Each structure stands twice: as C-alpha cells, then as structure tokens.
Copies of this chain bind each other. A is one copy, B any other.
Amino acid sequence: MRQVSILGIGQLPVREHWELSIRDLAVAAGREALNDADIKRVDALYVGNMTSGSLNQQHQLGAVVADFLGQWGVEAVRMEAACGSAGSALRQGLLAVASGECDAVLAIGVEKMTETPGRDTTTALVGAADAEYEAVHGVTFVGLNALVMRRYMHEYGYEHADFAPFALNAHANGAKNPNAMFRDPISAKAYQRGRVVADPISLYDASPIGDGAAAVLLVPTAKAPQAVRIIGSAVAIDTLAIHDRQDPLWLAAAEQSAQRAYQQAGLGPADIDLFEAHDAFSVMAALSLEACGFAGRGEGVRLAQAGEILPTGRVPISTMGGLKARGHPVGATGLYQIVETVLQLRGAAGEAQIDGAHTAMAQNVGGSGATVVTHILQRA
C-alpha cells in the first residue's frame, strides 16, 4: 500500500446556514480543499453524511456533489456510519489512494440539519442507535448517553460537577476558532447551572447540532512529501445496542481501532501531542480517553480535572472547540476533526495552536461507540 498525505483542507463555519443547501455546503468545502491543494481534477469523491435520506430527501450525494464541483465522470459515492460518516469517507478515500487506483481523492463530510420541514431531527438522530431494540422503546440518542453517564457516575463515584472540565476546555478552545459555533468561554458556575437535557446530561454536557461541511484532498505521500501524513488509519465496530455490550462503560471499538492505528504508526499514547476526541457528550470524551490508553479505567474524568486535557496539558483534546463548542454537524464532524488536526500540524491553528504539535490523533465515533474510526497524522 502507498502512504497517503493530506494536501488540501477546507471547512465552513458550523452554524445555521439558512442560505445554503446540503449540496452548497459540500461544494463550498470541497472547492476550498481543491484550491488549498491547487488541484483542479480528482479521481474520486467520497462524501460522508448521515441524514440526507431522512432529513433532506436527497440520496446519491456522491454524484450530486461531484457534479456541482464540476467533476464530471469521476467516481463518487456517499458513506454512512451515523456520526462516524465523515471519518469513514476519509478512510475509504485513503484506501483508494493507497491501492494505487487513485492519485487525487476528495473526501467531504457534510450535514444539513436546519430547515428540514416536516422532518424531525431527534427521530433521525436516534437512527444512530439500534432501531429494533433501543429506538423502538422511545428513547432518544441523548437519553441513551444519559444512561451511560449515570452508570459511569455510579460505578466510579463521580458527581455531575466533576465533568465540568470537559465543557470548560471545549468552550475556551472554541473561542479561539473562527469556525466554531460557540465562541464564548463558559464558567464553572454556568456549567452547573446548565439546564437538564436528559438527566444527568445537562446543556453543557451535550454537543449542539448544526449545518456544516469539511473536506480534505488526499494524494500519495510520494507526490507531496511536504504535506501532513496519515500514519495510522483503522475502523472497528461494536454492537449498536449498549445493552448488548459486555461492559457498557468500555468502548471496545475505540480501543481496537486505536490499537490498530498505534500499531501501524509504531507509536503509543505517549507519542500523541493532541487528540481530537469525539466529545459528543462529556462522558463520551472520558470513555474515549480511557479506551485509547490516555487514562486508566474510570480515570478519564480525573485526567480532565488534573488539567491534562487543556492546551498545556499532557493530552490536549478538543483543541479547536471539539464537538461541544465547534458544533456537531453529525456526518461532517469526522472531517472537521481532521481539518483541525491538519491546521495544528501545519502550525496554522492561530490562537488555538498547540505548541510543538508533531503527531496527532483524531477519533470519530458513530452511535455510542458502535463504529469507531481512528486516524493518526504526522507533520512531514
């Protein structure tokens, strides 16, 4: 297999883009990545998206986005793995280049969640859970994560207030990212006052949905030796239904995909300078840190309390705001994480720059740990 690098990146601010349709969003991010790479024509396009079928009544996003990008005749397809869709699109784009079949591939993650008349976003989102054994009972996706958080607090003896460092870090970092949905730091008092969404998850434990698109342009490393390299790439699945897992507090797929990526890269957790975790809910950030070997079992919250997830800490997370503050346009998130990681490794993250960022990991999660896509990137 050929080694693959990221030559171009593009992203739109996450917000309610009332003036842009789903194709407009994807095309804008894709064009920016093409311009950034100074490439006009690609061999293939992979579009990551979760809800275009359920919310936008538009299937076949691969072809429609390729068409409006002026890429007639290319290979194109949409990848869907719920909130892990964009990471999956990157993964397949990487295989297309690594195989030797393609020399330039565009991977775009896109989601249009506002202006969906007659369609219910909450119903669409619980499609990330098990339709027959979880959603059928009327539980929402945030409700399922609330059960996990409650169990985590019970098993490890934490209070709700102990999770504050995740939200405080994310919002402080989001304030430095011009593309973030929320750009105001929050206080510990604000965190505690956050209204309950699904007990014990309160407003500041849950990431906001939004419209957005992010894109990367992939080439063989040999053709762009100066570009950021992908040195680890792996996907693993777990059961969709949380009750089917041997341990509801262990993200087995996150562990497996991280371990495979570490092995490919010849690295371990200690070598990672920053980690874009899938902090859809604060408890998921804690569980990801544990599964990837940054903290012991039940110690993810303690790691955050010790300040180690801050930009100055041992393993900075959510460095541009994470899902919590940058926003979570579900099927686009995995590529926002990658674009932000590339900015960090290029030393181009502005106010949010992590000093000496050389090697970074990004982990994109579909469902509550059902599809986990891990990538390790390194500065050339």
Contact = CB atoms under 8 A, between A and B. Distances in A.
Interface of A: 1, 21, 23, 44, 50-54, 56-64, 66-67, 71-82, 84, 88, 91-92, 95-96, 98-101, 123-124, 126-128, 130-132, 135, 234-240, 244, 252-253, 256, 366-367, 370-371
Contacts of A57: 54, 123, 126-127, 131, 135
Contact of A59 (B23, B50, B63, B72): B50
19 contacts: A21-B132, A50-B53, A52-B53, A54-B59, A57-B127, A57-B131, A60-B80, A60-B81, A60-B367, A63-B371, A67-B239, A71-B237, A76-B81, A76-B371, A77-B91, A79-B79, A79-B80, A95-B96, A99-B100
Given A60-B80, A92-B95, A98-B101, 14 more contacts: A1-B99, A21-B132, A50-B59, A51-B53, A51-B59, A57-B127, A58-B130, A63-B370, A67-B238, A67-B244, A71-B237, A75-B91, A95-B99, A99-B99
Closest 5 CB pairs of A and B: A53-B53, A99-B99, A59-B127, A75-B235, A58-B131
A353 B244 CA distance: 45
Nearest to A96: B95
B53 A237 contact: no
A63 B127 contact: no
A96 to B, nearest CB: 6
* Total copies of the chain: 2
A144 to B, nearest CB: 13
Nearest to A256: B73
B67 A77 contact: no
A289 to B, nearest CB: 20
Contacts of A66: 237
A269 B106 CA distance: 32
A277 B317 CA distance: 51
Nearest to A89: B77
A80 B131 CA distance: 19
Chain A interface secondary structure, helix, strand, loop or mixed? mixed
Contacts of A84: 60
A60 B101 contact: no
Contacts of A73: 236-238, 252-253, 256
Given A78-B80, A80-B77, A80-B80, A237 B72 contact: yes
Contacts of A370: 60, 63-64, 67
A152 to B, nearest CB: 22
Nearest to A75: B235
A71 B253 CA distance: 12
A59 B124 CA distance: 8
A138 to B, nearest CB: 13
Contact of A101 (B1, B236, B253): B1
A56 B244 contact: no
A240 B63 contact: yes
Contacts of A58: 127, 130-132
A242 B379 CA distance: 45
Contacts of A96: 95
B98 A367 contact: no
